[in-house]
Chains A and B, each alone.
Chain A
Amino acid sequence: MKSFEFFEPTTLAEASSLFAQKHAQLLAGGTDLVIGMKAYTETPETVISLQKIPGLDGITTDNDKSISIGAMTKVRQVELSEDIQQYHTALAEGASEIGSIQIRNLATIGGNIAHASPAADTVAGLLVADAQVDIASADGERSVPINELFTGPGQTVLKPGEIITQFRLLHPASGSHYIKHKIREVMDLAFIGVASAVNMQNGVIKEARIGLAAVAPTPIRATEAENLLSGKTPTPELLAQAGEAAAAATSPISDLRCSAEHRKEMVDVLTRRTLQNALDRV
């Protein structure tokens, strides 16, 4: 590992101004960064730990069931949170799919998202929760919807010095489900990740959200499929149409994990399956 200057600021303002420097990297849980530094794919001159800044971790639920998750909250805590299991089941399931328990005890949800891998396991669940991403910098604060955060593989709208502080999940779903398509049961990366969330009213779908990971340069929402579902009574034919529309929204690549054709086909299958399971959970 290359040598670097190490800082442990205790305020966001201090962290932000250090982070605005060239060749600086933030350290959250370290499970991506430390491995990257050992492999020399990451060679920061400055590493800024966020671990000593108070108030960046923890999960809080308001009376209206909206939930805030601090960016430094461990993925293991997201996985085990009863409120997230109840109102955002797909997110809890996604969190439980990351690495091993040892890794989930270190990794943070903010790191999983800021790393901006299109295959991140918490991203589909945050997409279907319609999460707001709160961002702070020395210049102030702003908030962007999670579906506008990513600009490409490893790329986000975050500017130098900007730090994700929390995710706000304002829209609880009465049923949601995440499926990670993979080979190994644990310790694998997603071929694709699909999450669906639904809210029902008098037997019709009031709103549906579908989040797709690892099938485009960024994680995406399948909005056409969502619109197809909205206001309709769920039937196998309707879910099949939604599956096709979701697959049409993707632009996957072929890589050593699987082919683009397989990814597209499986988005269709897993969209139907996650929708059905989300409906069953309502």
Chain B
Amino acid sequence: MAKHPVSLKVNGDEHDLLIEPRKTLLAVLRDTIGLTGTKEGCSTGDCGACTVIVDGKAVTSCMVLGVTASGKEITTIEGLASDGELHPIQQAFIDTGGYQCGFCTPGFIMASKALVDENPDRTEEEFRFALGGNICRCTGYTKILEAVLQAAEEIRTNS
């Protein structure tokens, strides 16, 4: 089948690619562009490991055809740190031990970033519900939630 020309802006970098329509955004990011920070867990939208931010919204990239992301602005876990400085959410996951094996961490961090950007004033319970689409196989939820609350607090204070 014919490949389609696709322009993706990923973490600020333009990528002009020719891709098969059946390739998911997740596959394009990992296999074509080589950004393997975004993980493939269940590949059915249930686990949230593949979460990236597209035009400001957190989405499960395993459910998106890469061709439909053309022209959109995509942020992955690789795009969060700037000038060697970790994003407050990344730092919070380290400070609280909000990761164990690390596989779910990029998805949790990207989902959390979108939530905190949208509204850092959520209560603990609201953050729990809003992160319901992310699963941690190590069941490290307490520390993950601590990380998100710490980052939200820091972003509230600095804004």
Contacts and interface: CB of A to CB of B under 8 A. Distances in A.
The judgment on whether A and B are partners is yes
Contacts of A100: 45, 48, 60, 132-134
A185 B67 contact: no
Contact of A3 (B1, B24, B58, B114): B1
Contact of B45 (A2, A37, A103, A185): A103
Contacts of A102: 45, 48, 51, 58-60, 111, 133
Interface in B125-144: 129-130, 132-134
A186 B21 contact: no
A85 interface: no
A13 interface: no
A4 B20 CA distance: 9
Given A27-B68, A30-B68, A102-B59, A187 B46 contact: yes
Contacts of B44: 35, 38-39
Contacts of A5: 1-2, 21
A101 B58 contact: yes
Contact of A103 (B1, B20, B60, B130): B60
Interface size range of chain B in the complex: 20 to 34
Interface in A95-118: 99-103, 105-106
B22 A106 contact: no
Interface in B43-71: 43-46, 48, 51, 57-60, 62-65, 67-68
Given A38-B43, A100-B48, A3 B22 contact: yes
Interface in B5-63: 20-22, 24, 43-46, 48, 51, 57-60, 62-63
23 contacts: A3-B22, A5-B21, A6-B21, A27-B65, A29-B63, A30-B64, A30-B65, A34-B62, A34-B63, A35-B44, A37-B22, A38-B43, A38-B44, A51-B68, A99-B133, A100-B134, A101-B58, A101-B114, A101-B115, A101-B130, A103-B63, A103-B133, A106-B59
